[in-house]
Amino acid sequence: MDRIVIRGGAPLNGVIPISGAKNAALPLMIASLLTSETLELTNVPRLADISSLLRIMSNFGVDHTIAGKRLGENTESGQTIRLNAGNVVDTFAPYELVSTMRASFWVIAPLLARFGEARVSMPGGCAIGTRPVDLLIMALEKLGADVEVDGGYVVAKAPNGLTGGTIHFPKVTVGGTHVALMAATLAKGTTIIDNAACEPEVTDLADCLNKMGARIKGAGTPHIEIEGVPSLHGASHPVLPDRIETGTYAMAVAMTGGDVLLQDTRADLLQSALDVLARTGTEVIPVENGIRIRREGGQIEAVNITTEPFPGFPTDLQAQFMALMTKAKGSSTIRETIFENRFMHVQELARLGAQIRLDGDCAIVDGAGVLKGAPVMATDLRASVSLVIAGLVAEGETTINRVYHLDRGFEALEAKLSRCGANIERVRG
């Protein structure tokens, strides 16, 4: 099993290109099931989750081509994937496929909307909380679907098609909003989504669906209106920059010190996180086609945060920020309000010498201590990259095991960091 070895102490200087967002690319790929014509997606990252979803889509009979996939290509630039669901042969998504990645459950929406039926396994993915699918099922039922859970599978039927309705989510759910959006595009009549997720990835999906002929208004706000259409057509759409990758590398620069241009990204995608980073004493400078992050000397200031739905501080940057706070002056409090089990990285950071106490949904980090390299184990995608950030400043050698988590969400991580001066390498095994 592969592992990553880091020898800490080097500042980061240079340019890091930001990849397309995995959390945007996955629902966009799934949206191709809504049409018999080809959907072209550009700036798609090369990640394990993308490959897994392509296998699932192929199981339905979806054809795909990856443009420019040839010897010697730049594996850090986004790829172009063309998907054609003109000959779907099955609406069944088995456990062995869906269990590898939670987002694959969302295929239930376009399959049901277009073909009137779907049988999809309950989802898998990172173990960071229960993240039940009850709100997703509720959304489909509000559009007239008959849904039941049978032997670990969600079976949804709408033989006469879906019908527009009002969907009010009792709490913000990105997955639920994705599902409701895709299902409602082909429903008869008007659908209202209240308390919708406002994340940029939701807006990106709505923009793509509108290019395909959907009629969606209000994406990016808590109130979305969708006027159903009989069918959708093909389109071409670029995947937006990955705001979580952007924030991760920004925090890595703040941790190590240095001066790095994060290229091909946008500050508006994660402004709250950048505002927090600026309060730590790190310079955050939006520039044309990117963001410059600089910290040259001076201590890292402790800052308290609470994770919230967009536009608040993202839960997907909580672990990375906790790693940063282990080197801050004083104590900081990190409150996690999105997922109940998202402090599993605490015990691994403690192996490096971090001083962290847990109190319910809060972690209290006593910073400015010395981190020392040690073997650690990744527990989920975001936790694993927090260990990378800590390892970049830890004395001696840090070995991170179970790095397949990293491969799910960070494209060419070792190459991007090593080019900026980090002493990091992957050891195959």
Q: Average pLDDT, stretch 1-6?
A: 93
Shared domain for 65 and 139, answered yes or no, is yes
Shared domain for 386 and 255, answered yes or no, is yes
User: What is the per-residue pLDDT for 124?
Assistant: 56
63 assigned binding-site residue: no
Q: Average pLDDT, stretch 247-265?
A: 98
More confident residue, 305 or 369: 305
Select from 201, 221, 238 the last residue of a domain: 238
344-367 pLDDT, tens per residue?
899 999 999 999 999 999 999 999
**Strands 223-227, 235-238: pairing kind:** unpaired
Shared domain for 226 and 210, answered yes or no, is yes
150 assigned binding-site residue: no
133 assigned binding-site residue: yes
Distance CA 67, CA 82 (A): 8
Shared domain for 164 and 304, answered yes or no, is no
Shared domain for 75 and 207, answered yes or no, is yes
User: What is the per-residue pLDDT for 266?
Assistant: 97
* Contact (Cβ atoms closer than 8 angstroms) between residue 371 and residue 354: yes
Shared domain for 403 and 278, answered yes or no, is yes
Mean pLDDT of the chain: 93
Shared domain for 11 and 27, answered yes or no, is no
CA dihedral 378, 379, 385, 389 (to 10 degrees): -70
Shared domain for 318 and 414, answered yes or no, is yes
Does residue 170 surpass a pLDDT of 80?
Answer: yes
Q: How confident is the model at residue 151 (pLDDT cuts 50, 70, 90)?
A: confident
Catalytic positions, written as ranges: 126
Select from 238, 268, 299 the last residue of a domain: 238
Distance CA 209, CA 198 (A): 16
- Specify the amino acid at residue 323: A
Distance CA 379, CA 381 (A): 7
Select from 195, 212, 238 the last residue of a domain: 238
User: What is the per-residue pLDDT for 125?
Assistant: 46
Domain of residue 348, residue span: 3-19+241-427
Number of domains in the chain: 2
State the alpha helices, DSSP H only, in 106-229.
108-115, 134-142, 174-185, 200-211
Tell which residue, 291, 285, 284, 244, has the closest CA to residue 264: 291
Neighbours of 213 (CB within 10 A): 17
Shared domain for 52 and 76, answered yes or no, is yes
22 assigned binding-site residue: yes
Shared domain for 247 and 337, answered yes or no, is yes
134 assigned binding-site residue: yes
Q: How confident is the model at residue 137 (pLDDT cuts 50, 70, 90)?
A: very high
Shared domain for 304 and 389, answered yes or no, is yes
Does residue 340 surpass a pLDDT of 80?
Answer: no
User: What is the per-residue pLDDT for 76?
Assistant: 61
CATH code at position 122: 3.65.10.10
Share above pLDDT 90 across residues of the chain, in percent, rounded to a whole number: 84
Shared domain for 152 and 185, answered yes or no, is yes
183-208 pLDDT, tens per residue?
999 999 999 999 999 999 999 999 99
Sheet holding 258-263, edge to edge: 12-17, 258-263, 290-295, 283-287
Return left, alpha or beta for 257; rule: phi > 0 is left, psi -120 to 50 is alpha, else beta: left
384-417 pLDDT, tens per residue?
899 999 999 999 999 999 888 888 889 999 999 9
Distance CA 387, CA 375 (A): 10
Does residue 67 surpass a pLDDT of 50?
Answer: yes
User: What is the per-residue pLDDT for 298?
Assistant: 86
23 assigned binding-site residue: yes
User: What is the per-residue pLDDT for 128?
Assistant: 36
pTM of the model: 0.94
